[in-house]
Structure 1
Amino acid sequence: MARDILIETKDGDLVRLRPMVPGDEDALRHAISQLSSHSRYLRFFNGAATLPDHVVRRLSDVDGTKHIAWAAIDENKENKPIIGAVHAQRSSQDEKRGDFSIGLLDAWHSKGLARLLIALLSAESSKAGFEELIADVLWENKKGRALMGAIGAKSMGSDGSTIQFRMVLDEVLAKLGDKHLSPAMDKVLAAIEDGDFFESAA
């Protein structure tokens, strides 16, 4: 059974949402290089043009249990590049709490992709045994803080430079499904409601 969804953004762009696989390492490295230095800083707390190989390798080293990730693919381009990704990572399969991260190329901000990816990640992570995710967001990242509020994440406090948010997965999914956001979200939610959609992640 295919575990990918082809959606159309509000601007009419075709994007495929699918699970990330270890073979995406080079494509992910290229995507990170396409981020603006400011976006790289907000995402990785480091604006360097390139990241160490071990960091990129860790982001692509998905196993469906300790590390779950979904990628957004630009279907309008022949080489089908990765334009965004969202991750849930934990130290062991028994952990109920994991770390959350998300990144989108600058040109794809404000198109609703972040919420779509978060919905899919939350559903698959919940099925894999995660109950909550923790996200560290820089204070200056206003869009990141707004996104956390929009999906129902709660602040756990700040160290002065970052705010830590707690995402309870059931609450995030309820929040995202609470109102009609877009035809694309309707399509994603319908896939999530299909009990077989995440069966290969079990």
Structure 2
Amino acid sequence: MARDILIETLDGDPVRLRPMVPADEDALRHAISQLSNRSRYLRFFNGAATLPDHVVHRLSDVDGVKHIAWVAIDETKAEKPIIGAVHAQRGNETDKRGDFSIGLLDAWHSKGLARLLIALLAADSKKAGFDELIADVLWENKKGRALFGSIGAKSMGSDGSTIQFRMVLDEVIARIGEKKLGSAMDTVLAAIEGEDFFESAA
């Protein structure tokens, strides 16, 4: 299935990429608890060891229209845990702009997963009617700022502690597609271009 994609990371680890479903709530809660305090702070602007249940519920409450999300699954473990997730959320189905967020467990940083998830989310969100996504990144998050710059996101300004990036989906998809990012990205791009990529979307 084009919406259930098995890839290998840059160092050969098997990972499955698929849309998030509401039943992933407990797995997502566990994944968030596995983030280091530093990564949790950079992701949620809060280093607390646990997040309120309503926050985790909101992150897993996907409908494929107002809230679209993809997850990365560690295929080396029997329980198939979530190791990363990327989200696009908007207030209603007619909004063209949504909010973007992404998180990866620390051990899976620098393996190419962020760009793979972003490519899938961008394509799925565009099909659902989003034109652009907005991401707030802490100024001290140098890797996050570099990631957004590398995919063609543009700075909309800073309040001194955070910087806001605007991701025009057409531009992000084109930018990612232009780069030679390895066989995993080739697999993802081929899936996006396939006729059945959106067939099971909500």
Give the shorter-chain TM-score range.
Answer: over 0.9
Q: Note the C-alpha offset of 1:5.
A: 0.2
| Cα distance in 2, alignment partners of residues 2 and 189 from structure 1 | 10
CA distance in structure 2 between the aligned counterparts of 1:100 and 1:2, rounded to whole angstroms: 23
Higher mean alpha-carbon deviation, 56-65 vs 189-198, is at: 189-198
Tell me the equivalent position of 1:41: 41
Establish whether residue 104 from structure 1 lines up as the match of residue 107 from structure 2: no
**Residues matched between the structures, number:** 202
Q: Distance in 2 between matches of 1:138 and 1:2?
A: 34
Q: Which residue of 1 aligns with 2:14?
A: 14
1:188 alignment partner in structure 2: 188
- 2:103, 2:197 → 1: CA distance? 24
The TM-score normalised by the length of structure 2 is 0.98
Distance in 2 (alpha carbons) for counterparts of 1:191 and 1:171: 19
Per-residue deviation, residues 128-180 of structure 1 (Å, max 9, x unmatched):
00000000000000000000001100000001100000000000000000021
**TM superposition shift of 1:199:** 2.0
Secondary structure of the residue aligned to 2:99 is strand
Give the whole-Å Cα distance in 1 for the aligned partners of 2:49 and 2:42. Answer: 13
**Bigger relative contact order (CA 8 A; separation at least 6):** 2
Kindly indicate whether the alpha-carbon contact (under 8 Å) linking 2:99 and 2:133 is maintained by their aligned counterparts in 1: yes
1:57 and 2:57 matched: yes
Question: Percent of aligned positions with the same letter in both sequences?
Answer: 84
How well do the aligned residues superpose, as a CA RMSD in angstroms? 0.8
2:79 is aligned with 1:91: no
Which segments of 5 or more consecutive residues in structure 1 lack a partner in the other structure? none
The one-letter amino acid paired with 1:74 is D
Q: Which amino acid aligns with 1:159?
A: D
For structure 2, list consecutive stretches of 5 or more residues without a partner in the other structure.
none
Q: Aligned with 1:32: secondary structure?
A: helix
1:201 Cα deviation from its structure 2 partner:
1.9
- Partner deviation per Cα, 1:8-28 (whole Å, 9 max, x = no partner): 011110000000000000000
